[in-house]
Amino acid sequence: MRTVDLLKQLQDIDTQTEAAEGMLPRLQREIGDRGPLADREAELGRAQRELRALETQQRDLELDADRLRAKIAADEAKLYGGRVTNPRELTSLSDEVAQDRRQLSPVEDRLLDVFDRTDRVSARIAELKTALARETEVWSARQEVARAQQRESEAAVASLQDQRTALLEQVDPRARATYESLRHHKGGLAVAQVNQRTCQACRVALTPAQEQRARMGADLVTCHSCGRILYVRLT
Ligand SMILES: [Zn+2]
């Protein structure tokens, strides 16, 4: 096997490792991130707080209404009970009842309004819960996919690292140093394939002699334009 064949294998392993590792940051960010559900959860939280406020308002208004109704009933009992006969006292009681009724009326109106709003907010909460349940299901499924992809990528990286270690034992140290240096300086691509006498990394044409030397593989031949190691597949 030519040295360049080993380097091409090394390049393929490194390219695949980079791709597999490149997936991981996105997956790590995605896993456990409830961000996509946050807006809906916040909306539901607001609606639930609104409902609790309405329930408090309703209790307060009902207490007011009960208090006024009890007072009206007691005053009316006195007014029509026959025990109070003093006309001034009767007029005063009658005024009192009229005033309490005037107070009761807006309390009852507000209660109706609160009931109405409670109904609407309750319906909204039910809708939000349904939507959130549906979205949580989609989210959970995506989480599953992301976790599976993470496991796959990690397993792939581990396996590629083993392959790399095994391969390096066969590579001459000087060739390896050339490869690593080129990979570092050439954006991760040290070995360029030659197709139709053209360097596939920089698209520059090679002379027949250059291609022939690269094909022989007696020594490493680099592209005169981009400097990468040229690899000609033997058919
Ligand atoms: Zn080139």
pLDDT in tens, 4-46: 999 999 999 999 999 999 999 999 999 999 998 999 999 999 9
- Residue 181: per-residue pLDDT: 97
Ligand 1 mean position, distance from CA 230 (Å): 8
Mean pLDDT for the chain?
96
Q: Give the distance between the most distant pair of CA atoms in the chain.
A: 132
Q: Is the pLDDT of residue 114 over 90?
A: yes
Ligand 1 mean position to 229 CA, how many Å? Answer: 8
Instruction: Quote the ligand 1 centre to 163 CA distance (angstroms).
Output: 27
Rounded CA gap, 56 and 116, in Å? 15
Beta bridge partners of 165: none
- pTM of the prediction? 0.70
Q: Tell me: pLDDT of 216 over 90.
A: yes
Q: Would you place residue 235 in the very low, low, confident or very high pLDDT band (cuts 50, 70, 90)? A: confident
At 19, list the tokens.
């791709």
Of the candidates 40, 2, 44, 60, the residue with the CA atom closest to the CA atom of residue 231: 2
Tens-digit pLDDT profile for residues 85-113: 999 999 999 999 999 999 999 999 999 99
Half-sphere exposure of 140 (CA within 13 A, CB side): 6
Measured at the CA of 217, the angle between CA 163 and CA 226, to 5 degrees, comes to 85
Given a cut of 90, is residue 1 above it in pLDDT? no
pLDDT of residue 204: 97
- Enter the tokens of residue 151: 């496991």
Q: What is the CATH code for 23-168?
A: 1.10.287.1490
Distance 166 CA to ligand 1 centre (A): 28
The ranges of the chain annotated as CATH 1.10.287.1490 are 23-168
